[in-house]
Amino acid sequence: MYYTIDRKQYWLKEVGSGPPLLLLHGFTGSSESWQQYVEKWKDRFRVLLLDLPGHGKTKTQAPIRMEDFCDDLGQLLDQLSISKVNLLGYSLGGRAALSFTVMKPERVQSLMLESASPGLDSPDEQLARKTKDEALAERILEQGVTSFVDYWENLPLFDSQNKLPDSIQNRIRQERLSHTERGLANSLIGMGTGAQPSWWGELGDIRLPVLLLAGEMDQKFVGIAEEMHQSMPSSELKIIPLSGHAIHVEQPQKFDTIVHEFLLGNV
């Protein structure tokens, strides 16, 4: 159902009962990305599936900064009468989950980050990435979603997904194609890696339980996860064999087992 915050309408689906577990999808994904896990987790958890700004059914008019999204998320939890939440985020959703944890640690029970980063360390890196993301946003607006998805699917980051069954690859493609040009462009401009604050300096202040996940074939994010792990005294790091960036898609049984065990030990 829709939850209104200012003039933004956030789409959130709720399934099951128990401790609240909020799932945040990646760029070009949606709340549907987690569907295969809902049946597994709903008996023990109150599973909350949110469409991030620019994605799915959530309705926003302009780019939303990461900090403003975190403020909105706090208000959303208030509307749901949730004081503390368990957060699981993938990629963009992982950056959002970490941002929320840094900004509002008192609202988070535990944090699970799949192929995520704290942003970029230096202003030069941030500016270069911001410029690149804004150019990509322009390209999406000019050439359309289909052209962009064709480009996005062929990034080296997703090479390991080429081995997935056709049915799964087709489902992911259809989810990507379901978005609007303006929505994806706004997401890149407002919540892209270069646009968000860098949280590297704040990692040591996070004292709640943290699970860091990276796929062994995704060397860039293995390196980021290892560096984060060294900075976070309360973190647990798992490198998942035979997986690239999207562990929840490529190794679903391992992902389910690791996340479930972490939650049961920390809720």
pLDDT digits (tens, 9 = 90+) for 135-164: 999 999 999 999 999 999 999 999 999 889
The CATH architecture assigned to 2-119+197-266 reads 3-Layer(aba) Sandwich (3.40)
pTM higher than 0.75: yes
Ranges of beta strands (E only) in 79-220 are 85-90, 108-114, 210-215
For residue 149, with 0-12 CB atoms within 10 Å meaning exposed, 13-18 middle and 19 or more buried, which class applies? buried
State the Cα torsion 103-20-112-160 to the nearest 10°.
Answer: -120
Is pLDDT above 80 for 267?
A: no
Distance between CA atoms of residues 263 and 265, nearest Å: 5
Residue 63 backbone dihedrals phi, psi, to 5 degrees: -55, 140
- Please state, in angstroms and rounded to a whole number, the distance separating the CA atoms of residues 3 and 6: 10
Is the pLDDT at 17 greater than 80? The verdict is yes
Return the pLDDT at 198: 97
